[in-house]
A and B are shown apart, each in its own frame.
Chain A
Amino acid sequence: MSELKRTSLYEKHKELGAKNIGFCGWDMPVQYEGILKEHKACREEAAIFDTSHMGEFFFEGNILFSGINEAVTVDLLTLPVGRCKYGFILNDKGGVIDDMIVYKADIDRLMFVVNASRIQEDFDAIKAQVHNGAFTNASDSTSKIDIQGPKSKEILEHLLHVRLDGLNYFSFTEADIMDTYGLISRTGYTGELGYELYLDNTAAPKVWDKLIKLGATPAGLGARDVLRLEMGYSLYGQELDENTTPLEAGLEYFVQYTSHFRGKEALEQQKQNGIPKKLIAFKTNSKRAPRHGFEIMQEGLNIGVVTSGTYSPSVASGIGLGYVETSKFNADKPIQISSERGSMPVELTTLPFYKK
């Protein structure tokens, strides 16, 4: 196995006594003091996450004539400057190469934020669409810290010495973060009020320390996964992959048909013909959790597979997402999930699992 990569905050995690795991080639903290405690800190106060493993690309050039608008399902022309938007990079079949957020810093300047495991595939896929303008990968020099939770605004305002009242959901601003240039967006992966900070690797450790001093609790990928799943947010590699379309994942809302993009014909065709599989959400009637890979059963037949599952502290039961074959699935009949440890009934539910 090749050496795991380390973020600019690696030493900080060690100092905090984090338990690390290999995640997509990175040595990342899965937890510090415990997933439940970190989850609670995020839902009730403020938590910070090192998400520096994620990728950042920059584009500078003409959006209309460079081909960049064909690379993603977000219409970059109509996206207002100062706003960011969630969407997809698709293959010709409409399958998801990655999900991402694109930031429009100016009429001719964009930033793409992508999953760590997909940086190379994403860069190549976007690059293939771009025939002029400058497209660069800044992933290795960029750190990312997410601060999430009801107290995140207050803490961040203390750090920055500015008010953040004007920063609306899926808006962002360039900012001076402890004397270093950075970017702050009102976004996140937890469902809480929160912000994502993009900054140079050299500034990340002092910003991390200061956020903790101001009251934020460090939280690992374990808590992050529970938090995102409670909101029903998809995770690449589980709910999304190259053989799954946004329609099947229930994410058509994030496809803007107003622009022409790679994979659009396939999506339009699938819209006409119907989707062969669909994402469903379910919960258990106990604290037992569905787990990735469990089978989804209905009337004794295997009709699908669980893609994500966990115990949810906010819902106080097991929760899960999975795909079922549309032709076999009947929403009115009971379903079970099964593994070598036996079978348990689950109840279909709507997203998010955690409703405030």
Chain B
Amino acid sequence: MKKYSNEHEWAQVEGDEAIIGLSVYAVEQLGDITFLELPEIGRDVSKDESVAFIESVKAASDIYSPLSGEVIAVNEALNDTPELLNEDATNTWVFKLKLCDANEANSLMDETAYLEYIATL
């Protein structure tokens, strides 16, 4: 099950790991994505820390980690084909964390709450 942050990242927790991606809403706001800088593997990140950035034809934006942990993998396919995110944001992960605290995900929104949140934006 996906959980969402205020900054429009999703996290899918499995055990003490989580894959992180961007919400469909975030990708629609950015438009055609042209470039993605992925975080370094091995980097320790805190919740809400800027860890990567993304560029579209019209804008550039930071990507924030929705959870704390160590980056243990990145989706290398996005280096050459960042447009995968435009095609299917829900099923395209960006990076993978080894979590400090699996319970931290409880502070994130579930899909219903997130949809309510973006309706207010």
Which residues from chain A sit less than 8 Å from chain B, CB to CB?
Answer: 30-31, 34-36, 222, 225-226, 286-289, 291, 310-311, 313, 341
The reply to whether A288 and B57 form a contact with Cβ atoms under 8 Å apart is: no
| A34-B32, A36-B32 known; A311-B57 Cβ under 8 A | yes
Roughly how many angstroms separate A109 CA and B12 CA in the complex, as a whole number?
A: 67
| A287-B55, A288-B55 known; A35-B32 Cβ under 8 A | yes
CB neighbors of A among B29-50 (8 A)? 31-32, 34-35
Determine which of A30, A31, A34, A311 lies in contact with B55 in the assembled complex, contact meaning CB atoms within 8 Å: A311
The reply to whether A289 and B31 form a contact with Cβ atoms under 8 Å apart is: no
The reply to whether B35 and A310 form a contact with Cβ atoms under 8 Å apart is: no
- Inter-chain pairs besides A30-B58, A31-B31, A35-B31, 14 sampled, C-beta below 8 Å: A34-B31, A35-B32, A36-B57, A222-B57, A226-B57, A286-B35, A288-B35, A289-B34, A289-B35, A289-B60, A310-B58, A311-B35, A311-B56, A341-B60
Q: Name the distance in Å between B87's Cβ and chain A's nearest Cβ.
A: 12
Which of B31, B53, B56, B57 has most A Cβ within 10 Å? Answer: B57
Roughly how many angstroms separate A162 CA and B102 CA in the complex, as a whole number?
A: 70
The reply to whether A222 and B58 form a contact with Cβ atoms under 8 Å apart is: yes
Determine which of B31, B34, B55, B86 lies in contact with A222 in the assembled complex, contact meaning CB atoms within 8 Å: B31
A contact residues around B34 at 8 Å (CB): 287, 289, 311
B contact residues around A36 at 8 Å (CB): 32, 57
Roughly how many angstroms separate A287 CA and B53 CA in the complex, as a whole number?
A: 13
**Interface code B44-71, partner A: CB below 8 Å = 1, 0 otherwise?**
0000000001011110100000000000
Determine which of B55, B82, B86 lies in contact with A289 in the assembled complex, contact meaning CB atoms within 8 Å: B55
A contact residues around B32 at 8 Å (CB): 34-36
Which residues from chain B sit less than 8 Å from chain A, CB to CB?
Answer: 31-32, 34-35, 53, 55-58, 60, 82, 86
In the complex, residue of chain B having the shortest beta-carbon distance to the beta carbon of A37: B32
In the complex, residue of chain B having the shortest beta-carbon distance to the beta carbon of A313: B57
A contact residues around B53 at 8 Å (CB): 341
Q: Name the distance in Å between A337's Cβ and chain B's nearest Cβ.
A: 13
Q: Name the distance in Å between A317's Cβ and chain B's nearest Cβ.
A: 10
In the complex, residue of chain B having the shortest beta-carbon distance to the beta carbon of A341: B53
Complex A-B, nearest 7 residue pairs according to Cβ-Cβ distance, in ascending order: A311-B34, A36-B32, A287-B35, A35-B57, A287-B34, A288-B35, A222-B58
Roughly how many angstroms separate A287 CA and B80 CA in the complex, as a whole number?
A: 10
In the complex, residue of chain B having the shortest beta-carbon distance to the beta carbon of A39: B57
In the complex, residue of chain B having the shortest beta-carbon distance to the beta carbon of A311: B34
Q: Name the distance in Å between A225's Cβ and chain B's nearest Cβ.
A: 8
The reply to whether A310 and B60 form a contact with Cβ atoms under 8 Å apart is: no
Roughly how many angstroms separate A53 CA and B42 CA in the complex, as a whole number?
A: 51
B contact residues around A288 at 8 Å (CB): 35, 55
B contact residues around A289 at 8 Å (CB): 34-35, 55, 57, 60
A contact residues around B60 at 8 Å (CB): 289, 291, 341
Roughly how many angstroms separate A244 CA and B74 CA in the complex, as a whole number?
A: 46
A contact residues around B55 at 8 Å (CB): 287-289, 311
In the complex, residue of chain B having the shortest beta-carbon distance to the beta carbon of A31: B31
The reply to whether A35 and B58 form a contact with Cβ atoms under 8 Å apart is: yes
A contact residues around B31 at 8 Å (CB): 31, 34-35, 222
Q: Name the distance in Å between B106's Cβ and chain A's nearest Cβ.
A: 32
Roughly how many angstroms separate A158 CA and B55 CA in the complex, as a whole number?
A: 40
B contact residues around A287 at 8 Å (CB): 34-35, 55, 82
Roughly how many angstroms separate A289 CA and B5 CA in the complex, as a whole number?
A: 27
B contact residues around A35 at 8 Å (CB): 31-32, 57-58
Roughly how many angstroms separate A313 CA and B34 CA in the complex, as a whole number?
A: 9
Roughly how many angstroms separate A226 CA and B56 CA in the complex, as a whole number?
A: 12
In the complex, residue of chain A having the shortest beta-carbon distance to the beta carbon of B50: A341
Roughly how many angstroms separate A30 CA and B56 CA in the complex, as a whole number?
A: 14
B contact residues around A34 at 8 Å (CB): 31-32, 86
Roughly how many angstroms separate A217 CA and B96 CA in the complex, as a whole number?
A: 40
Roughly how many angstroms separate A226 CA and B34 CA in the complex, as a whole number?
A: 13
B contact residues around A341 at 8 Å (CB): 53, 60
Roughly how many angstroms separate A287 CA and B60 CA in the complex, as a whole number?
A: 12
Question: What are some 24 contacts across the A-B interface (CB < 8 A)?
Answer: A30-B58, A31-B31, A31-B58, A34-B31, A34-B86, A35-B32, A35-B57, A222-B31, A222-B57, A226-B57, A287-B35, A287-B55, A287-B82, A288-B35, A288-B55, A289-B35, A289-B55, A289-B57, A291-B60, A310-B57, A311-B35, A311-B55, A341-B53, A341-B60
